[in-house]
Amino acid sequence: MPPATSAPSKELATDDSTYLHVAVESPALTEAEHEHEHEEVSTPEVQYITPTTEADPQPTSAVYISVLLVLIQSFQYGWYTGQVNFKTYHNKITCAARPVVPGTCIMFPGHTMTQWTVLANAWVVGGMCGTLLVAKPSDRFGRRRTLWCNGVTMMAGGILQMTAYNVWHFAVGRFVGGIASGFATGIIGGYIAEISPPKLRSTFGTGFHSVLSVGLLCVAISFFFVDTGDNWRYAAAVPIVIGATFMVLAPFFMVESPVWLLAKGRNAEAEKEIARMYGEKNVPLVVARLQARHTKVEAVPFRTVFKPEYRFQLLIACAVAHFHQFCGINAVLFYSSSIFSTSGISDPRVGTLIVDLVNCLPTLVLGVFAKRLKTRTMLLVGTSIMLMCAIVMTISLVKEIGPVSVAFTAIYVGGFGISYGPLVWSVTAELFPAEIRSRAVSLAMMSMWLSKITVGIGYPYMHEALDNYSFIPFIGTLTFALTFLYFLMPDTHNKSIDEIEELFRQRREKRAKK
């Protein structure tokens, strides 16, 4: 037998988590080893190295710090979600009284129901606008610079609210803050997907909901300190602190997406960022796998998102975003004060605090679940839990069984906390390749904001009409969601972007043959 060329395996990337065994020269192997190696390489089946092997570049602290920094902006989203959900700020009866009783309706005393509806939902309208606007600047100026400018928008919204002299002035501030929240929802998921190694993508992806939940909890705690006079202005100023903190730290510690840099042809800058993220020795490997996959972002028009090869992904992303709002979680939050009051907890702040605390609890173990459980499984389990709770809560409210209502309110929130709450951000980002990710995610987030304003405006009227039966519509939507996810949601757990695309390609081919 002629001497064989030695061939220990070397990993060449084909995408963001898949490596192929190929041969490279090395004089260190024996002839027997050469023969064994030849058998491995000659097999027609590609041999994949899983993300847990030594071949997978390990992220440095720069990746973790960048994720933590970008998640500061999700805190602002959580803060705005609960900022005005306080009866001392607005109560239909006390605000309609003339004269207004001191200590009640402390935000712009005497405002009408219509004015408050505009004020509360101005943030949602701003969020819808933000998600539509974020794709172009994100692709043109980069993820980091766009997020930094978003910090300016956060501060502007906070300043307008803190200095507001009437309802309309405050509503404008909420609208500007909503634009900042829309930018955050439209870019953070994609940014995290682009800088994360595949084995950590699900864990990092749940971070948006985790920090959002902390923001909700913090605003609930603040209600115990901003319940008199003009103290609400201190709460309104919190986004200023959030925006300023991000703007100071991001330029020094946050990496730019190497995917975006390579797409722009700025290879030297991309290599510099990759060195920060994975170390100098892994730069060629990471660059190779990214270049093998990603095309130029600016060459892809918006209409590409609607091409046949992406329509099913877009359907799933928009559906999950809709389910995030139509699962009934906002109804639970709306109803929580009255549910707890029937069980002897008269202070609505305590009820809100309990719900927000329960919402935070799943985040303590969410990272472990995200690593071990499939995304599809978590969505199905969470939907099933909420469906069961909606049925039991309807029965307990009709029968006036207070303790049962309280218990299943907590379980309901927990079900949301392990499913739609954390996963909507990662699911909508990982379904699409980089060249259309910003545009596709912005459409999915637009769906979520549209659903949010529909529920926000419509549910109080539905509750007034249906009273204790107001969870029945959500029983219907949860049943539909469970059916949709069971039959149409693919398993994307620990899969690379290429592997996810391959799933959808195979589906299209099967349907074409029918």
CATH number at 341 reads 1.20.1250.20
Residues 409 and 430 in one domain: yes
Lowest average pLDDT, out of 39-48, 186-195, 202-211, 288-297, goes to 39-48
State yes or no: cis peptide before 99, omega within 30 of 0: yes
Calculate mean pLDDT across residues 25-30: 42
Q: Where are the alpha helices (DSSP H) in 206-344?
A: 207-222, 232-236, 238-253, 258-263, 267-278, 283-291, 308-326, 329-341
User: From residue 104, how far is each of 90, 98, 107, 274, 438 by CA, in Å?
Assistant: 8, 12, 9, 55, 44
Share of the chain above pLDDT 70, in %: 84
* Res. 51: pLDDT tops 90: no
Residues 207 and 127 in one domain: yes
| Residue 174 within a domain | yes
When divided into structural domains, the chain yields a total of 3
- pLDDT tens digits, 127-151: 999 998 998 899 899 999 999 999 9
Range with top average pLDDT, 61-65, 287-291, 466-470? 61-65
Residues 497 and 440 in one domain: yes
Q: Which residues of 172-192 are buried (b: 16+ CB within 10 A; e: fewer)?
A: bbbbbbbbbbbbbbbbbbbbb
Residues 75 and 152 in one domain: yes
> Do residues 96 and 104 lie in contact, with contact meaning Cβ atoms separated by under 8 Å?
no
Distance (Å, whole) CA 475 – CA 484:
14
pLDDT value at position 437? 83
* Res. 343: pLDDT tops 70: no
| Residue 277 within a domain | no
Q: Which residue has the higher pLDDT, 371 or 91?
A: 91
- pLDDT tens digits, 11-27: 333 334 333 333 333 34
Q: How confident is the model at residue 45 (pLDDT cuts 50, 70, 90)?
A: very low
Range with top average pLDDT, 38-42, 287-291, 331-335, 390-394? 390-394
Q: At what angle do helices 61-70 and 167-195 cross, to 10 degrees?
A: 160
Residues 338 and 311 in one domain: yes
Domain hosting 24: range is 1-55
How high does pLDDT run on average in the chain?
Answer: 83
Token pair listed for 194: 């682009």
Long-range contacts of 281-289 (CB under 8 A, 24+ apart): 282/57, 285/11, 285/12, 285/13, 285/57, 286/13, 286/57, 286/258, 287/258, 287/262, 288/12, 288/13, 289/12, 289/13, 289/14, 289/15, 289/16, 289/18, 289/19
Range with top average pLDDT, 79-93, 148-162, 180-194, 361-375? 148-162
